[in-house]
Structure 1
Amino acid sequence: MVSPIPHLPLFFSMFFAIYSIAHFIIFRTWTPKLRPEAASCLISLAHGTPAVLLACQSIISDANHGFASTNTDFQNSVLEYSIAYFLMDLCHYLIFNPSDVLFIGHHLATLFVFLTCRYLVFHGAYGILILLILAEVTSFFQNVWTLASVLKAESKVAAQVFDVMSPPFYALYSVVRGLLGPLFVYKMVAFYLSGAADNVIPRWVWISWICVVVAAISVSILWISNRWIELYRERIAVIDKKQKIR
C-alpha cells in the first residue's frame, strides 16, 4: 500500500529550498520583520495552485474514486506534497511566530488528517483531496493579498492592490469556504455515518477528520466575516472623511 518512491523527503527539500531562496535572496532587502512572512507566502504560492491541479488530476484519473476508496499512488503523492508544505510552514511559524497558536494548531491538525490518510488507513484520499482543492483554490489570491497587506503602509502600489483585490477575494473566499466547503462536508458526514467506510477507515479516524475540517471551516468563516466587517468600516470611514472635507 505504500508508494514505492519516497516523495516526502524530496518535496520537503524543495519547499525548504524555495523558502531559503526567498528569505536570503529574493526578499533579502526587506525588513527582518517582513522577510519571513514573504518567504512563507512564496512557499504557499508554490503549494496552493499546483496542489489544486495535482489533486484534480489524481481524482479524475481514478475511475473508482469515492469516500472509502483505496488511495492511488498518485493521490498518495499529492498528500505527500501537501504534507511537505505544511511541515515546512509549521517550521516557519515555530521559529518566527511561535505565539501564533491559531496557525500552528491549524497546521498540526491538517498534518494529522493528511498523515493518517496517507500512512495509517490508506483510504479516503478522495474526500481529503476535494477539501484540499476547496482550501487551496483561493491560495494565489490570498497570498498576493497578504503580501499587499504587509506592504501597504510602505508602498502606494501595494495599498492600491490591496484595495482593489479585497472585495473580489473576500467574495470568492466566502463562496468557497462558506458555501461549497460546508456542502461537501455534509455529504462526507452523511456517507461516513452510513457505516459504508467502517471496514477500511476506523470510526475514530473519520470522526477526527470531520472535527478538524469543521473547526477549520468555522475559523475560516469567522476570519472572512471579520475581513468583511473591517472592509465595511474602512469604506464608511473614507466616505465620512470625504463628506467632512466637503
Structure 2
Amino acid sequence: MEPQFFILFLLMFFTIYLVAYFVVFRSWSPKIRPEASSCLISIFHGTPAVVLATYALLSNKSRGFSSPNTPLENLVLDFSIAYFATDLLHYLVFFPGDVLFIAHHLATLFVFLTCRCLVSHGAYALLSLLILAEVTSACQNAWTLACARSHDSEFAGKVYHILSPPFYAFYSVVRGVLGPMFVYEMCVFYMSGAADPVIPKWVWISWLIVVASAISVSILWVSNLWIQLFRERRGLFYKKVT
C-alpha cells in the first residue's frame, strides 16, 4: 500500500465527515446527524469510486480474475479502503451495536486489504464488484437522507415516497441479477484452479464467501423494503376507497 495516498484519502473522508457533522447537518436532530454525515462521505466515495474503478479497469488491457494489480487499480483500492475505515470508525463510535454493518465493513476491508497488500492480484474482480456495489450509491444516499427527514419535513417525505420505487427497482436489478451473475463467473474461474499460482485458495474462497454473503444480505434487505412499500401503498389505497 502506498501510505501517502491512503493517509491522504483517510484524512479527506475524515474531514468530510467532521464538516458534515458540525456544519452541514448541525441543525438536524442529534439522532440522525451521524447517519447523515455517514451518507455524505458515502456520496463522496460511491460515484467517484465507480468512475475511478471503471477507468482503471478499462486502462488495464490484460485484466482478468487473476491478473496483477495495476498502480491505478491499487489507487482505487486505497481510496475505498480509506472510506470503509472511516465509516467503520463512525459505526464503532455511534452505533457499536450495529453488528451487521460493522461485520460488513470488516469483511470488505479484509477483502480489499488481502488483494491490495497480500496477493497483489485479482483487483479486476473486486473493482468490478465495487462498481456494482456503488453504482446505486448516489440514489441510495439520497433515499436514506430523505427517509431520515421524512417525519419532520414534508418535502423530504415527498422525495422519499417518489424515490423509493425506482431506487428499489434499480437496486434489485444490480444486486439481485447483475451481482450474482458476476459472482458466478468468479466461482467458475477460481474453482478451475487457474488463479491458484498467484491467489492462494484460502484467499479466493474467503473472497467468494464474503461477496456471496453481502449479496444475499442485500437481496434480503431490498426484499423487505419491497414488502414494506407494498403494505404502505395498499394501506393508502384502502384508505382512499373507504
TM-score between both structures, scaled by the size of structure 2: 0.99
Q: Distance in 2 between matches of 1:6 and 1:24?
A: 27
Q: Provide the residue aligned with 1:213 in structure 2.
A: 211
The aligned residue for residue 24 of structure 1 is 22
> Which whole-Å deviations, capped at 9, do the CAs of 1:26-71 have from their partners, x for residues lacking one?
1111111111111000000000000000000000001100000000
Which residue matches 1:165? 163
Separation in 2 of the partners of 1:119 and 1:216?
Answer: 22
1:69 and 2:67 are equivalent in the alignment: yes
The corresponding residue for 1:111 is 109
For structure 2, the 5+ residue unaligned runs are: none
Deviations 1:76-110 (A, max 9, x none): 01001000000000000000011111100100000
CA distance in 1, matches of 2:203, 2:191: 13
Look up the equivalent residue of 1:31 and give its one-letter code.
S
The residue aligned with 1:197 is 195
How far has the Cα of 1:243 moved from its partner? 1.4
| Distance (whole Å) between structure 2 residues aligned to residue 165 and residue 98 of structure 1 | 29
Pairing of 1:35-54 with structure 2 (within 5 A): 35-54=33-52
Q: 1:165-221 CA distances to partner (integer Å, 9 max, x unpaired)?
A: 000000000000000000000000100011110000000000000000000000000
Structure 1: unaligned runs, 5 residues or longer: none
Aligned to 2:125: 127
| Identical residues among aligned pairs (%) | 62
The count of residues paired between Structure 1 and Structure 2 equals 242
SS at match of 1:197: coil
Residue 6 of structure 1 aligns to a residue whose secondary structure is helix
In 2: Cα distance, 1:144 partner to 1:110 partner: 23
Report the counterpart of residue 231 of structure 2 in structure 1.
Answer: 233
For 1:118-151, what per-residue CA distance to the aligned partner results, in whole angstroms no more than 9, with x for missing partners? 0000000000000000000000000000000010
Q: Measure the CA separation in 2 of the matches of 1:31 and 1:239.
A: 32
Corresponding residue SS for 1:195: coil
Specify the code of the residue in structure 2 equivalent to 1:62: N
Secondary structure at the counterpart of residue 96 of structure 2? coil
CA distance in 1, matches of 2:124, 2:219: 24
Shift of 1:6: 2.8
Tell me the CA shift for residue 7 of structure 1.
1.0
Q: Deviations over 1:5-30 (max 9, x none)?
A: 63111100000000000001111111
| Whole-angstrom distance in 2 between the partners of 1:175 and 1:144 | 18
Work out the CA distance in 2 between the residues paired with 1:24 and 1:60.
39
Match of 1:66, SS state, is coil
